[in-house]
Structure 1
Amino acid sequence: MKLIVFIIVLFLMFFKTFAFVSYGLCIDHGSWLKDFKFSQEGVAEIKLMQPYAILDNPNLNPCCLQQGVMIIEKYEIYKDDGSTDPTFAFTDGRTWVNGYNGDNILQNDDCDRGGFKCDQLYEGDFEYTRRDNFDGSKLTLGENLIVKIITYAHCFYGTETNCYGSCKISFQSRYSVKDNNLTLSN
């Protein structure tokens, strides 16, 4: 009996350690797509913009939120032919990005420490650009595609990782490489 209780407690501790909560507030705390292109054959480039940091707000719990996309999930490209399996999957599960990791995000108890200043926290880029390589031979020029990605922003750690902003972005694109020069849209 003691062994069963021990196993249950151990399971709950392990589960809580890797727990994750997202509130799905895409409008106020979420991201938006600024640009997507195939910058050269076999290279997909996505640029995401995220909410700015919120620093030292006494009405906010927690007291501040860091800027930029923090986590992405299910970044995939599908052929627009009814396929349910992605042709390319660039992330496996949730992935920290933009310089963030579990050690440099706001800890909820940071706000209670005397002398803590929000500007001491790491800040990722407001505009986050990611380039991923893929096997271009699996696509033909002009082919219609669907690109999907889930983004998370304004994350902090309490007893679990909490993210105020999460957005499911899905859009159509065409596989087209006009030139090999990277030109980012404004």
Structure 2
Amino acid sequence: MTNKADHNQSEAGVVDLNIISNELVKSKKKCCGLTVNDALKLCSSALVPLMIGVLSVVFTILQLQIAQKNREKDLQIANLTRQQDYEIAELRRQQDQNISNQLREKDLQIANLTRQQDYLIAEQRRQQDIELAREQREQEREFDDRRQKDQVLSSYLKDMSDMLLQTNITVYSETRSTIFRAKTLAVIRQLDPKRNAFLIQFL
């Protein structure tokens, strides 16, 4: 009986040791109330968002760097474009100024040529007016001279006709001839050859 009791006690001690060892193993497998598998799952589930966050930060930094480089390139392109636009505008302004100067010189040349032509035309017209006025004065003088000679001839012919047709002549024939001769000579000096020929035919 004693041996059986000892055997039971030893078996109970072994069972207690097994329970204690199992408890120790279970306590080692648990960390903060979690098993190793649960801890690994928790770490893996926490590591994935962390890696995603790190990658997001890295991508964000890369995008910021790319955006900065793009901004710098855009600024360089904008500066280059602005410089080119300024050079083109300056070139166009210079060309416009040259064209304006050329047009102004041409306008001055045309104005000078037009002024010279106007002066020549005015001078020609003035000479023509002077010539026309001189010719008109000459014609008027010739007309007055012809009219005066015609009046002298007409007056002479009328006087001679009246004297020849008078019936009551009290003057001697010799005196009358002297008067006729003097009057005729005075008239001949005033007339031209054509009228003098007509006067001689009358006599």
TM-score (norm. length: structure 1): 0.21
Greater helix fraction, Structure 1 or Structure 2: 2
Higher Rg of the two aligned structures? 2
Ranked by relative contact order (alpha carbons within 8 Å, sequence separation 6 or more), the top structure is 1
